[in-house]
Amino acid sequence: EAGVTQFPSHSVIEKGQTVTLRCDPISGHDNLYWYRRVMGKEIKFLLHFVKESKQDESGMPNNRFLAERTGGTYSTLKVQPAELEDSGVYFCASSQTSGGASNTQYFGPGTRLTVL
């Protein structure tokens, strides 16, 4: 079974440009999550999709970030325009169930974003 995949693995852009990150969850997983780790800090939750709906977007830093999951399969996270402080590693995770003791989130390898 394929795990969570993310594309690209690395992205280097200039301040003010737009970048779109993609995440493909494990097949059959309705729940999809985005997290990010800014340099030197802990990994922080951004948002949670259940199928195509945003269940919790309390971690989204500002309106320069737009996450979508059309059709409830893969998800994209767009940063527009990118700022220097957006640099970090963006992780995607998916899970089959939501909440409760059985919820285990499986993570992808991350996308390393560098904004110059």
Partner 1 sequence: AQSVTQLDSHVSVSEGTPVLLRCNYSSSYSPSLFWYVQHPNKGLQLLLKYTSAATLVKGINGFEAEFKKSETSFHLTKPSAHMSDAAEYFCVVSLSYNTDKLIFGTGTRLQVFP
The site for partner 1 (CB under 8 A) is made up of 3-4, 31, 33, 35, 41-45, 48, 55-56, 58-59, 91, 93, 95, 98-110
Structure tokens belonging to residue 59: 């971690």
Q: Are the C-beta atoms of residues 78 and 66 closer than 8 Å to each other? A: yes
Least separation in angstroms between residue 87's CB and partner 1 is 18
Least separation in angstroms between residue 114's CB and partner 1 is 16
Least separation in angstroms between residue 64's CB and partner 1 is 21
